[in-house]
Amino acid sequence: MRVIFHIDLNAFFVSAEISKNPSLNNQPVVISRDSRRAVVSTASYEARKYGIHSAMPLYQAKEKCKNLIIVSPHFDLYRSLSNQFFDIIRSYTKMIQIASIDECYADFSEMITESYMQPYALAYKIQQEILNKLNLPCSIGISPNKFLSKMASDMKKPLGITIITKSNIKEILWPLSVNEMYGIGKKTAPKLIENNIKTIGDVANYSNYTVLRTILGRKALIYYQRANGKDDSKIEYDESDAKSISHSMTFERDLDSLEEIEEAYKNIVLALSERAKQYNLVSNHIGITLKSDYMHSLTRQMVINHYTNDYEDIYNYAIILLRRNYSNQQIRLIGIGMNDTLNIKDVKVQMSIFDMTSSKKKGEDINTFIEELNENNSLHLMKASDLLNKG
């Protein structure tokens, strides 16, 4: 039987700041730029008690909590801690799938079978190592598949460990509201409830598949199977040959200003950049996706003059695309993608064509390789930051 962990750092950006500034511990803290149209990136659990949550306008958060502490984001810190977090998981198994900058799936089936270690004991050991080495709390969900482990990790925060098996889903999973089912959006849940499908158990036992298909579309069968504890999706632990990677985020409320959307893009671009670096992927095709409150979708991409996986680079190009295409509509979902990706190994091969010696490459990091590739293609166009500065 498979043993899949979903490991999720709790309130990651806030926890990262606390790791460097312990005086913030147990305080109502949000990560946000302190500007008029800023939105909350992450809220501490103390701040959440006031009803503050991610993507909430900062002015509303201030109204809810008069003693709110606002901390500006430090993305270099988050990137560093994220890499250390994944390195700890990799010290136990190479079979991990990075889901975002602060969460991953890991397949421990082989390790547990060979060592006879209990899954809970292993999860506790990993959780304590992350806490002791990085001062970051995490929650871990354990199950035979990705869906159940994701649901399990959300049940106890912070520092929770939850096990869901096919034998206990009726007690643990089925009583939960459809609003809490991973993958069910804020627009879809009310439609299910209108048809008296109020809990995950209702989805699992719903007899009228035609109605379910009308509400959930082509994924109706997938949700039905997941509600019954079935999910055959694999751990995608090697994305080094992927042709494209992307990341998206759906918000609890519509974003209605360019400034809010630009701020929100920082988080998903950071997640995308870290995934790309993790698998040594680079691209010169950057694309964005915007979905309105009516879920009308707009996708745009641009071919840039160099290969990159750099956070600032991708963000700047994403903002160029956003400013060109945003027309004051209400936005519910944003996405960022890198298409036609190359592995850094392929970049090295291309560079050797341009007579670069292998001795020069030794010890150099990925950014050096990318820069040299650009130089030897004689591409000397403006950077994204230059274009942004020109308006």
29: phi then psi, degrees, rounded to nearest 5: -120, 140
- Cβ pair 164, 149 in contact under 8 A: yes
> Long-range contacts made by residues 91-99, C-beta under 8 angstroms, separation at least 24?
92/122, 92/126, 94/237, 95/235, 95/237, 96/235, 96/237, 97/235, 97/236, 97/237, 98/274, 98/275, 98/278, 99/6
Query: How far is Cα 196 from Cα 212, in angstroms, rounded to an integer?
Result: 11
Name the residue type at position 203: V
Three-state secondary-structure class, residue 156: coil
Taking the CB of residue 171, how many other CB atoms lie within 10 A of it?
A: 9
Residue 73: asked if its preceding bond is cis (omega within 30°), the reply is: no
Q: Does 103 participate in catalysis according to the annotation? A: yes
8 is in an annotated binding site: yes
What angle, 0 to 180 degrees and rounded to 10, lies between the N-to-C axes of helices 220-227 and 209-216? Answer: 110
Query: How far is Cα 99 from Cα 96, in angstroms, rounded to an integer?
Result: 9
Q: Which position among 17, 103, 239, 262 bears the catalytic label?
A: 103
Query: How far is Cα 214 from Cα 227, in angstroms, rounded to an integer?
Result: 17
Residues of the binding site: 8, 102
Binding residues for Mg(2+): 8, 102
Catalytic residues: 103
